[in-house]
Amino acid sequence: MTTTTAQDEAEPATLTRWGGWSCVAIGLGHSALGASMTWRHWAGWMAGDLHWGLGSPEMPESKLAFWAVPGSFALPLVLLGLMAVAQAREGRTLPRHVGLALLAWAVFGAYVCFPTFGFFLVLVPVALFLLDARRSRRAAVPAP
């Protein structure tokens, strides 16, 4: 006889859904904040200032602004979040290695850019993805 807990009876992949939405929020927040800080460079980018090797050596601020906002990991993070939400709606979690890879990226980024707030925020979806993957793995193992 096996006993069920409230955690086992919870909707499958609930933590994955919350982790996905937190990834979306972090990515959109990063993009909005970054766009508001770098808007003066956008006209030059659209005019081709960064073509052929990302511009001249005299343009380091524009290059940094590009890689901090449109060239950053914000859009892929939003897409990962939406994929996680879609998986969760089907009752599935993300594979454990997705959470571990995101953890490695967040720790590396936090170390390189210390002090930073954004990379530490990524630890929230990482924890949710890993906890849900662990819960899913335990649920898949038959009770003795």
pTM (two decimals)? 0.81
Question: How confident is the prediction for the chain on average, in pLDDT?
Answer: 86
Instruction: Indicate if the pLDDT at residue 13 is higher than 50.
Output: yes
- Percent pLDDT > 90 in the chain is 58
**Within a 10 A sphere around the Cβ of 74, how many other Cβ atoms?**
23
DSSP-H helix ranges across the chain = 6-9, 14-46, 51-54, 60-68, 74-89, 96-112, 118-121, 123-140
Q: How far apart are CA 11 and CA 9, in angstroms?
A: 6
- List pLDDT tens digits, range 55-70: 566 678 888 888 888 8
Q: Which long-range contacts (CB under 8 A, 24 or more apart) does 56-61 make?
A: none
Alpha-carbon span 40 to 89, nearest angstrom: 40
What would the mean pLDDT of 69-88 be, rounded to a whole number?
Answer: 95
